[in-house]
Amino acid sequence: MEITCYRDQEVSHESRYLPATTYNLAITLLANSASHELFVPIRTMQYLAILDDEEFVFLDGERKCWVDIAWRKFRSQARTSLDQPVEYEAVYYRHGQSDIMVRLQTEFPRALQALASKSKNDGPASVIQFPLSRN
C-alpha cells in the first residue's frame, strides 16, 4: 500500500515517554514487515498510524493524508534494559491536539495488540540452550 502524506507547519513539540511494552511491540511488528512500513488502524479513533524506521505518524480519518501528530527521535539506545520506557519527541501539526495525544497513548497499544494477534509466525522456531554459569 502506498499513501502520500502531507504536513502543515509544526505548531509545537514536546518530549514524552512511550511505555516499553508499546515501543517493543511496535518495533517487533515493524521488523517483521517486509516493506519496513507498518499500517496500524486505530479504529476506535478513526485514525491510522503509519510506522517506519524513523517515526510514527498519525492521520485522522477525516483529514485523510494530513499528519496530525508525529512521534520521532526515539531514544531507545538510552535505555539500560528493555523494560524501560523510551523517550521520544511528539510533534503537533494542529492546535488543540492534547486530548488526541492522551487517547493515542491508550488506543495505539490496543491497536498494536489487535494487529499482533492477527499476524502469524510461519517460520520455524527453536529454543536456544545457554550453558549454566558456574559461580
Specify the pLDDT at position 133. 72
DSSP class of 84: S
Q: Is 107 in contact with 101 (CB distance < 8 Å)? A: no
Cell 519527541 locates to: 89
Q: What's residue 121's pLDDT?
A: 62
Binning pLDDT at 50, 70 and 90, where does residue 4 land? confident
**Whole-number average pLDDT of the chain:** 91
- The residue ranking higher by pLDDT, 126 or 4, is 4
* Averaged pLDDT, 105-114: 96
Q: Assign 30 to helix, strand or coil.
A: helix
Percentage with pLDDT > 70 across the chain: 93
Interval 53-93: pLDDT, tens? 999 999 999 988 999 999 999 999 999 999 999 999 999 99
Which residue has better confidence, 41 or 128? 41
pLDDT of 116 over the 70 cut = yes
Q: Are 41 and 111 a contacting pair, CB within 8 Å? A: yes
* Residue ranges per structural domain of the chain: 12-118
Task: Give residue 135's pLDDT.
Answer: 63
Say which residue the cell 545457554 belongs to: 130
